Amino acid sequence: MKQMAAIMQMTCFILVLFCILLESKASNFSKRHEFFDVILNEDYDPRIPPMHDGNPVLNTIQLYILGIDSISDSTMDFKMSFFLRQRWYDDRLAYAERFNFSKVELDNRVMSKVWIPDLYIKNEKKSEVHAVTVPNKLMHLYPDGLVVYSMRVTGTFSCQMYLQKYPLDQQTCSMQMESFGYSTDTLTFEWNDVPLLTKPNLTLPQFSIGHVTNHTCDITYSNVTFTCLGIDIEMSRSYGYYIIQVYVPSFLIVCLSWVSFWLNIDAVPARISLGLLTVLTMTTQSSGARATLPRVSYIKAIDVWMATCLLFVFTALIEFSIVNVKARVQQRRLSLNKLPLLIHNKEEANVENPEITKKSRDNARRVDKISRILFPTAFFGFNIIYWTVYVLWIPENQLHN
């Protein structure tokens, strides 16, 4: 009997506790209904900024960079994903005196009833807010009227690139956030105490990411000042790909053109074929290396390299023409001198002068011997100057950034 009584008491206690919990949940649910009826009622107008005592609304911004997906040299832009987090105070949404919620988390369908700063990204080409499975937006309301608003954005943004040192260059890409319609009299932007956060181990296949810095960029249009914040992302191009795919092959092609200097001066087909092959190969490779670049008017580092390599292989082909001419010039002069003899005495005219022939061939061989030293020395000297200049030189337009 005592056991039955204890079981009955325990059962009654559980039922009472369950009823209390249900009542608490129902009360909490009804309070939330009341919250929206009281706070977001007809008196609240989301079209009016929450200015307090005539002071502008202070919007505090923080960015969390998830990733930089791609950077395009041809279109001069970059694609980036990030969380855009904003915080401001709206006294009309303060509820500390009426409700005891620590915070209120709003649904996407309710966010449209709350005033939101008209922030836009100035250098945006195309962007979107993620919407799988629902729009990736978050809005929390706090008792003192603090509004926390966050969204996940992926966009393509323009980036002014300076390609004088390409592919040994460094670039600085920016993103600027500005108020579209409110002047600084109504709305101002300010960086959070921790303005920028980045995902750990953020990497790119063609660039290494350096410093990410923030700045203020307020701007005036027609005597009206608009608030603006910006970030600068420093990136250095990883040129290992270009060393393997561009520089080393073109270097070897130039060296291949020097093989002609060791071939016999009588090997005309072989030397012509080798010269034409290297010239055409360098032309094709030069076109391929510049195919993905914008048509800028200034000279890039890759242009200097390709033009010089093409000049060396073309000069090697011209060198053979000079050698060939020198090998035959004395013979042609001898043939012209024999022309009168051909009319009177053909046998005497057909007699060759071996000393003249040997001298002309020696002159041709001397040109080849000089070329064997001159061409490699000049090319290696060019390499020293090229790599020293383009590794150490900083363009003037980047010094001002």
The pLDDT value recorded for residue 383 is: 96
Q: What average pLDDT is seen over the chain? A: 85
Q: Which residues, at least 6 apart from 326, have a Cβ–Cβ distance to it below 8 Å?
A: 360, 363, 364, 367
The pLDDT value recorded for residue 337 is: 55
Say how far apart CA 175 and CA 214 lie, in whole Å.
Answer: 10
CB 27 within 8 A of CB 68: no
Q: Which residues, at least 6 apart from 302, have a Cβ–Cβ distance to it below 8 Å?
A: 166, 167, 242, 246, 289, 290, 293
The pLDDT value recorded for residue 19 is: 46
Which of 269, 355, 281, 250 shows the shortest CA–CA distance to 320? 269
Whether omega for the bond prior to residue 133 falls within 30 degrees of 0, making it cis, is: yes
- Which of 30-39, 97-106, 224-233 has the lowest average pLDDT? 30-39
Which of 140, 124, 119, 122 shows the shortest CA–CA distance to 188? 119
CB 121 within 8 A of CB 176: yes
CB 98 within 8 A of CB 38: yes
Quickly list DSSP for 223-238. Answer: TEEE-EEEEEEEEEE-
Q: Which residues, at least 6 apart from 55, have a Cβ–Cβ distance to it below 8 Å?
A: none
| Cβ count near 317 (within 10 Å) | 18
Kind of pairing between the strands at 187-198 and 57-72: parallel
The pLDDT value recorded for residue 398 is: 67
Say how far apart CA 396 and CA 401 lie, in whole Å.
Answer: 9
Q: Which residues, at least 6 apart from 336, have a Cβ–Cβ distance to it below 8 Å?
A: none
Predicted confidence (pLDDT) at residue 2 exceeds the cutoff of 90: no
The pLDDT value recorded for residue 102 is: 87
Higher pLDDT, 62 or 362: 62
Tell me the per-residue pLDDT of 120-142, one tens digit each, with 9 for 90 and over.
999 999 999 999 889 999 999 99
pTM over 0.75: yes
The pLDDT value recorded for residue 253 is: 95
Predicted confidence (pLDDT) at residue 23 exceeds the cutoff of 50: no
Tell me the per-residue pLDDT of 305-315, one tens digit each, with 9 for 90 and over.
999 999 999 99
Which pair of structure tokens corresponds to residue 68? 């930089």
Which of 198, 196, 231 shows the shortest CA–CA distance to 217? 231
Predicted confidence (pLDDT) at residue 349 exceeds the cutoff of 50: no
Q: Which residues, at least 6 apart from 180, have a Cβ–Cβ distance to it below 8 Å?
A: 118, 119, 120
Could you say which DSSP state residue 244 is in? I
Tell me the per-residue pLDDT of 162-200, one tens digit each, with 9 for 90 and over.
999 999 999 999 999 999 999 999 999 999 999 999 988
Quick one: average pLDDT of 328-337?
A: 61
High-pLDDT (> 90) share of the chain, %: 53
Count of residues in the chain: 401
